[in-house]
Structure 1
């Protein structure tokens, strides 16, 4: 029969009220946004000024304050498409390999003769000339011993370099698997650096994503111009290495005049007391790569230039057993113990790393500067006026779509159409509530997805109402007809919406930028429209039916 248990009614009501509460800040967008900015500033350590306190007073603390973030096309901002020059990394990598190659061949002078690097070699090769061709195979075997296993999930069991020889020339190349891993690490490092730079500027919800093999899309809402964004990306992170003098309980702890207190990057409750003067800085860091230690566990290696190697070697020789801190942007990335003097200009950080963590730590250590040059292929500035025009156009489209649907439903189904339009309003509220909860970004294609959802949202109600009409001809009474209408239309509703939801998932997975924005709002709209059609309209009909007890109904 036509009935809903008390717990189902309360659940439906609570979901609707929760969606309304979460979506409410979007009605007072500016006030909620200023409140959120003030909270973020305080969390980052800002002093509570009268201006910040005034922003905090804009919104009650006990209410949800998350709002839907506006994308570049709605808020205005800057758009860049950058191409990363991956060849720069290969050249730098082989510059670092050359000292190791020279040292490996030095004990074999009697067999290989003189050793000289060929500076005319391509950027992705290291060519070494020996004066005695008879020792070619011995030299090749010695350099093959320098090969290391690749630290990546796709290169397991393969080495990082390939060594070949012909005549008087030995050629060292990166293996194909290592080139792929290097490209991935370079792109990940570039993304990390850019994201850190943009986040430090305090912008909300930037879009920073990889496109293809060597390109990065950067969209930052709220920034003044593309030129300003280019300057922002060009800022270099500050990387330093400091002696550790102890632990602190807070950033405010009193220390000596030549000491500083810095927080740990991955542990909010950990603070270190460091010497203010750095032993070496990120300017001396040549490279950092994931590796395996002598026990086969993932680790992180780093390499300095000659001046940095000398300074670091002297310090580690004098401080075996002490801790030293790797500091990035005034946060301690890691603070390992010096087990022995590190005089070769390179070292290794060990710990309970997984392969993914070792890659991430290496990325953070290299995040002091962009690993390769970038060429900006496309740059565009979107003014806030254009964004406001898009918002206004989206509002008009949504209102027109909703008005048309409301008129059609009420004209076609009378009172039941009114119930469907009420559920439609709740549906739109739930869409914005979910977008606010997940921190989603609303773009112009996203608005198109909402408009499409408005048109599709009543499809389930149409199926139910038409089925009720059919059942009224044969069922025993209106209550039975309504119950059968919902029961027998359910499979058609689920089938129709599942297929559309699958398309939304495919669009989100394979698409990028505007396509993904459309897919997000469409997918959320499908879920909320099914909920409102099956449960909310049914609850409204049940409450009406229990109050009026009609002998006959018209749908």
Structure 2
């Protein structure tokens, strides 16, 4: 019988529509403004006593909160509005100190039963609402100083290989290096050797009663190159870290000479994002000092997880975390967490060269963190936050070298699986070439302004209403059925976008408007074909069947070409352009499904199997 779907096909369509409604429904629950609290390290636990301290601080300041949650070493305090959230963040930061990460967040309000089914809302881009904005400042002075530290080790090695005895290699206050020699003859030989291999330096000699010195200064061009490298490397590293976090459509870009903007739309764990983004998390590998080595050539460090325990290490750095090409969190034979490290070719050579003559000696792995203390000062009667940067270096492992090490080895002695996973992530994403400090952190509202957002939403509503009206006036009952299918199309579009964890931006709304037009365009082709078949004398049931069948090829061709254009936009575009391409691509697929299958199912239910003399079309 013409125009009748079998029962299984109708049930399948009903199942798809119910699933679509289910996974679109989380978008009906708006997110809460929240402040998230987590420990800087595993030893700083977020527990109930700490949360009680936070709650007391909020009450003293008269800041009302909606709900307090504590789970998995993380606390979450929900607020009614963004202004209260911002004020509460400052109060909480002061109350808990620098050992905890306090970050702004947008907390989902989706019911637990929906979350259990894997349903969640679409993430809104920063041009709509939701997400976190970080402004980071790169410490250029430290970038240059770190490069000079590497040069110190290289210069010492170069002089030893050239059998040129030196007394010391030290930093000067003006940012240059000075190498002290016993006599001028050796100094001049060293100068000739250095000029040959290191063209990035300016050289001067300085002879006085204290000794014969070779003063080495980086050229201005080299200094600028180091600073540019630091910014570029930090951009790459931060993008890698953000990608590891799984944030959709992030923005990481340079701003000015030494600042970087990071925007994370729809981020769910802002505290973890801030911790991962902000950590320099570099490593230094050094040999334990021999007992007969001069104290001037050694440094004493404390163990990170054993306060009070110290070890004396050589000042020379074998390699740093910048030589790490891969890192994976694993477990040893005793079930203890460890990080398996692979070095690049240069790092492997340096490690092999050093450990070849250091078997049975102990080598330390130093964890280097660039931190900042927060001080609250009163200026002109107002409280102002001031951040004082400092470097913390502590030993995480001190193990005996059993054999010559190459490009692969393991780091043990870590404090829990969480720390090993985080360290592996940071090293795998790449070391920051210079420390970064948070200059600004805020939740981001509509970047285009509330009025523009309102106009964008209004445009969707007006466009949708006009399309519905047009279909009703021109195609009557068939138009009503097409309108129902169009509503189903929007529900399915939202459901698929939610399942894909896609980020909806203002250009994405434009994609939805375009999808509305394209969805009815397919119905217009079908209905025009049905009218044509009726004019050619076909009976109503045959005209309906012929209209859907013969219009299918045209619909498929037009939609495939548009889909190809959307795929190219996604592949070649960035940011908002990709958001538009994703929305358009999903909209094309859902509109084809609803125009061809859902509309026909509705037409079949209305007209199928009946004796018809005419059609309301």
Residue 289 of structure 1 pairs with residue 346 of structure 2: no
Following superposition, the deviation at residue 461 of structure 1 comes to 0.8
Structure 1: runs of 5 or more not aligned: 124-128, 144-160, 243-259, 263-273, 305-311, 330-334, 352-359
2:409 to 337, 350, 353: 350
The equivalences for 1:20-39 within 5 A come to: 20-30=21-31
| Displacement after TM superposition at 1:234 (Å) | 9.1
Which residue number corresponds to residue 44 of structure 1? Answer: 72
Residue 396 of structure 1, aligned match among 458, 465, 470: 458
1:2 matches 2:3 = yes
- For residues 329-385 of structure 1, the C-alpha deviation after alignment (integer angstroms, 9 at most, x for no partner) is 9xxxxx999460799xx996537xxxxxxxx97771498985336799999985579
Task: Tell me, in whole angstroms, the C-alpha distance in 2 between the residues paired with 1:325 and 1:26.
Answer: 47
Quote the offset at 1:399 in angstroms. Answer: 1.7
Aligned ranges for residues 185-224 of structure 1 at < 5 Å?
A: 185-191=233-239, 207-210=250-253, 216-220=260-264
Distance, in Å, in 2 between the alignment partners of 1:190 and 1:278 is 34
Q: 2: CA distance between counterparts of 1:181 and 1:237?
A: 16
Say if 2:140 and 2:227, in contact at 8 Å, map to a contact too: no
Partner of 1:131: 188
In the alignment, the residues of structure 2 paired with residue 445 and residue 49 of structure 1 have an alpha-carbon distance, to the nearest angstrom, of 32
Which residue matches 2:484? Answer: 422
TM-score, normalised to structure 2, is 0.55
* Structure 1: distance between partners of 2:503 and 2:306: 43
State the match for 2:401 in structure 1: 340
In the TM superposition, residue 67 of structure 1 has moved relative to its aligned partner by: 0.9
Q: Which residue of 2 aligns with 1:519?
A: 581
TM-score by length of 1: 0.60
* Shift in CA distance, 83/204, structure 1 to aligned 2, threshold 3 Å: same
Q: Report what 1:357 is aligned to.
A: none
Residue 440 (structure 1) shift: 2.0
Secondary structure of 1:131's aligned partner: helix
Is residue 280–residue 434 contact of structure 2 (8 Å, CA) maintained in 1? no
Residue 510 (1) aligns with residue 572 (2): yes
Which residue of 332, 343, 358 corresponds with 1:300?
A: 343
Deviates more, 1:77-86 or 1:93-102: 77-86
1:108-152 Cα distance to aligned partner (Å, 9 max, x none): 237x999999999999xxxxx973499859x96xx7xxxxxxxxx
Change (3 A) 1:401 1:539: same
The structure in which a higher percent of residues are strand is 2
Distance 1:466 1:67, change over 3 A: same
- C-alpha deviation, 1:57, in angstroms: 9.7
Deviation at 1:278, TM superposition (A): 7.6
Q: Secondary structure at the match of 1:74?
A: coil
Cα deviation for residue 523 of structure 1 reads: 1.9
Q: Give 1:22 shift.
A: 0.5
Match of 2:548 in 1: 486
Q: Which runs of 5+ in 2 are unaligned?
A: 36-65, 80-107, 177-185, 206-213, 286-302, 327-339, 348-354, 371-395, 411-421
In the superposition, relative to structure 1, how do residues 233 and 90 fare at CA in structure 2: closer, same or farther (>3 Å)?
same
Structure 1 contact 76–386 (Cα < 8 Å) conserved: no
Name which of 359, 372, 384 aligns with 2:434: 372
1:529 corresponds to: 591
- Determine the C-alpha separation between the residues in 2 that align with 1:56 and 1:393: 26
Q: Number of matched residues?
A: 449
- Retained in 2: the 8 A contact 1:72–1:443? yes
Question: CA offsets per residue over residues 62-89 of structure 1, 9 Å max, x none?
Answer: 6654112222232267656778688975
Q: Out of 422, 431, 446, which is 2:493 matched to?
A: 431
Output the CA distance in 2 between the equivalents of 1:289 and 1:363.
14
Q: Distance in 2 between matches of 1:362 and 1:544?
A: 61
Q: Secondary structure at the match of 2:322?
A: strand
**Partner-residue secondary structure (3-state), 2:162:** helix
CA distance in 2: counterparts of 1:407 and 1:60, whole angstroms: 38
Q: Sort the Cα spacing of 1:553 and 1:389 in 2 relative to 1 into closer, same or farther, 3 A.
A: same
- Equivalent positions of 1:5-154 (< 5 A) are 5-30=6-31, 44-46=72-74, 60=113, 65-75=119-129, 79=133, 92-93=146-147, 95-109=149-163, 131-132=188-189
Change (3 A) 1:521 1:279: farther
CA apart distance, 1:543: 1.9
Distance 1:301 1:379, change over 3 A: same
Contact 1:189/1:366 (8 A) holds in 2: no
Q: 1:101 & 1:78 partners in 2: Cα distance?
A: 44
2:527 to 465, 476, 480: 465
Alignment check: 8 A CA contact 2:68 2:77 kept: no
Of 486-495 and 89-98, the range deviating more from structure 2: 89-98
What is the CA distance between 1:239 and its match in structure 2? Answer: 7.3
* Distance of 2:407 and 2:499 partners within structure 1: 42
Q: Shift in Å at residue 58 of structure 1?
A: 5.3
1:438-457 to 2 correspondence within 5 Å?
A: 438-457=500-519
Deviation at 1:481, TM superposition (A): 2.2
Conservation of the 8 A alpha-carbon contact between 1:193 and 1:369: no
Deviations 1:442-497 (A, max 9, x none): 22222222122222221111111112222223464333322222222222212222
Is the CA contact (8 Å cut-off) linking 1:303 and 1:347 kept in structure 2? Answer: no
Q: Secondary structure at the match of 1:73?
A: coil
TM-fit CA distance, 1:185: 4.9
Judging by fraction of residues, say which structure has more helix: 1
Change over 3 Å in CA distance of 1:40–1:459 after alignment to 2 = farther
Deviation at 1:208, TM superposition (A): 3.5
Within 2, Cα distance between the matches of 1:458 and 1:422?
11
1:536 positional shift: 0.9
- Please give the alpha-carbon distance, in whole angstroms, between the structure 1 residues aligned to 2:435 and 2:443: 22
Aligned twin of 2:85: none
The answer for the alignment partner of 1:157 in structure 2 is: none
Out of 471-480 and 420-429, give the one that drifted further: 471-480
Aligned partners of 1:481 and 1:40: how far apart in 2? 63
The range that moved more, 207-216 or 101-110, is: 207-216
